[in-house]
């Protein structure tokens, strides 16, 4: 993936401690997951979580040197990743999962 070509609307950063606490205590609900084809056999899971305030964020564990670091990314970031890397099936899977999640949340 060419990081120079991706426009990110939210900074990609390690998961803040408060978010890790929310994930452990169950305030945040996992609503789905998919695999991201990064390089060869390396296909980390991208897990979609719904926060109590309605936000949808993806948790992706990416390798940095010698360990996997959890990162929070927006749906826009994953869609841009799929567009830049010409992965229309991944983009469709992301869109379908987000749409399915939003339709379940509607009354």
pLDDT at position 26 is: 64
For residues 85 and 51, what is the distance between their CA atoms, to the nearest angstrom? 29
Please tell me the total count of domains within the chain.
1
Domain annotation covers residue 2: no
Each residue's pLDDT, cut to its tens digit, for the chain (107 residues) gives: 455 555 544 455 555 555 555 555 667 888 999 999 888 788 889 999 988 888 899 999 888 888 888 888 899 999 999 999 999 999 999 999 999 988 876 65
Which range of residues forms the domain containing residue 86?
14-105
Q: What is the pTM of this model?
A: 0.71
Domain annotation covers residue 7: no
Domain annotation covers residue 72: yes
């Amino acid at each position: 993936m060419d990081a120079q070509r991706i426009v990110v609307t939210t900074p990609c950063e390690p998961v803040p401690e408060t978010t890790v606490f929310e994930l452990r205590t169950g305030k945040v609900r996992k609503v789905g997951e998919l695999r991201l084809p990064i390089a060869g056999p390396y296909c980390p899971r991208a897990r979609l979580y719904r926060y109590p305030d309605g936000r949808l964020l993806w948790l992706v564990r990416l390798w940095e040197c010698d360990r996997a670091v959890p990162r929070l990314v927006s749906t826009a970031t994953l869609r841009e990743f799929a567009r830049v890397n010409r992965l229309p099936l991944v983009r469709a899977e992301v869109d379908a999962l987000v749409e399915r999640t939003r339709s379940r949340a509607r009354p």
